[in-house]
Amino acid sequence: MKLELRGITKRFGPLVANDDIHLTFESGEIHALLGENGAGKSTMMNVLYGLYEPDGGEILVDDAPVVFAGPADAMNAGIGMVHQHFMLVPVFTVAENVVLGHEPTAAGLGGLIDLTEARRRVREISDRFGFDVDPDALVEDLPVGVQQRVEIIKALSRDAKVLILDEPTAVLTPQETDELIAIMRQLREAGTSIVFITHKLREVRAVADRISVIRRGKVVGTATPDESEQQLASLMVGRSVNLGVEKAPPERGDVTFRVSDLTVIDPVGTRVIDDLSFEVRRGEIFAIAGVQGNGQSELAEVIVGLLRATSGSITLDGKELLGRSVADVLDAGVGYVPEDRSTDGLIASFSIAENLVLDLHDDAPFARAGSLSPARVAENARRRTEEFDVRLTSIQDPVSTLSGGNQQKVVLAREMSRPLRLLVASQPTRGLDVGSIEFVHKRIVTERDGGTPVVIVSTELDEVHALADRIAVMYRGRIVGVVPGDTHRDVLGLMMAGVPLEDAERSANEHHTTLGEADLEARTARSEEMTT
């Protein structure tokens, strides 16, 4: 099936999310849409799937114009979509989820759902593509990678000829990503067209037949997988960027930050952090890696005082942080870049200038005799927005008028522009283009080189690899192991799935030719040394 977008435009108030988009998706190909967060990729696919009504342009299926009033129309036309956040009912079985909304019934059952037929559909598709999915398993008991397969089975069960995958690897381990890529190739060979939405250059080059690059709502170019990551990155941001991180070996000092026997139990009794211990030295970057939802976010929130711990200890420069207010923790010299900037990092209605002094507004030079100095606040804002390349109209505009990426820069500028004893950054480059990522990574390394202990929480393995001097991998609230920053991706990926360090290294040695025995032995020795 051939699918075409002609002149698609979508506006949200003054924001033009999609600007005269022209794209063609041919039958039996994997067509990647590459662009940074906020470029307009997902908006475009939501238009195509009937979730948004376009403000201009038309959609054609096999050269015939179509109008989709909703997702049901798109599905009836042969278009399926796997959303970044899965649309599954956790307490339902796989079979029940797959047929939800178009349940098969049998005359002899008095109109009741024919679960036997539902199971048959799941088994037939699962066997055809080697998905290995049990139709009677509860979705809530399945790993994330298998849940994604359930979403794909849902789409294929409705005879999807075009399958849209929106950032499908965002919640997957590297091994699950490899499995998904293999599935995508199988689907292509079976004649299914795949629209692969992502901002990850490595994955695009691994699987795409064609690549369309989206920047600021426009298609700015096309490319092939033969293009280098550097070329693709330059096309994404419109200039040359350095995808690597230049940093010297760390000059480690004393241990100044310690987490000991930390446990956090949530209101329903789940141990989201389970007896966690680690320490960080001055002048090193300690990265917390893992698939989203394994306790990393809660760890960052406990450190800064946003979440209460059940037991344990967190000390900075020998002083206990647990039990202190967020203000007290920040006053102790902790810089915090939160995962959710809109909830924990900014006050939307405050100006850009005011947000840049949220945790300093009552200190000199911004306040005297209890009164805020607007001139000092404005001067600080001009310096910081220029230094961090915040794209704005006026420093007096509400911070809510900025794009997500520029809002993130405001948080970074505020937290990294004061003397720090510890920097905690959770998803520090989320929503930034590759050029801004380059800048942020340099600033984090500069902070490390100045002697600050740095804790990075990131689900982006490339970012962890680029920045970390040591890496702790979390799985279900516990640290699976602590390894050197240059540990092979395959080892980290296995650990992210819960495989203990020794077993992960053994498996990587057996199945991956790029890791030799001597290399693994050296890494094991270094891992043991760094852990102790």
Tens of pLDDT, residues 207-228? 999 999 998 889 998 888 888 8
> How many whole angstroms separate alpha carbon 275 and alpha carbon 281?
21
Predicted pLDDT at 94: 93
SS (H, E, C) 133-194: CCCCCEHHHCCHHHHHHHHHHHHHHCCCCEEEEECCCCCCCHHHHHHHHHHHHHHHHCCCEE
Q: Which residues of the chain have pLDDT under 50?
A: 513-532
| Tokens coding 265 | 């139990």
Q: Are 105 and 111 in contact (CB under 8 A)?
A: yes
Domains of the chain, CATH where assigned: 3-237 (3.40.50.300), 255-333+419-531 (3.40.50.300), 351-417 (no CATH)
Q: Are 121 and 150 in contact (CB under 8 A)?
A: no
Q: Are 349 and 397 in contact (CB under 8 A)?
A: no
DSSP readout, 423-491?
A: EEEESTTTT--HHHHHHHHHHHHHHHHTT--EEEE-S-HHHHHHH-SEEEEEETTEEEEEEETT--HHH
Predicted pLDDT at 109: 54
Lateral strand order in the sheet of 210-215: 79-82, 162-166, 193-198, 30-34, 210-215, 218-223
- DSSP label at residue 105: B
What predicted TM-score, i.e. pTM, was given to this entire model? 0.68
Q: Are 251 and 280 in contact (CB under 8 A)?
A: no
Query: Residue type for 14, please?
Result: P
> How many whole angstroms separate alpha carbon 74 and alpha carbon 48?
8
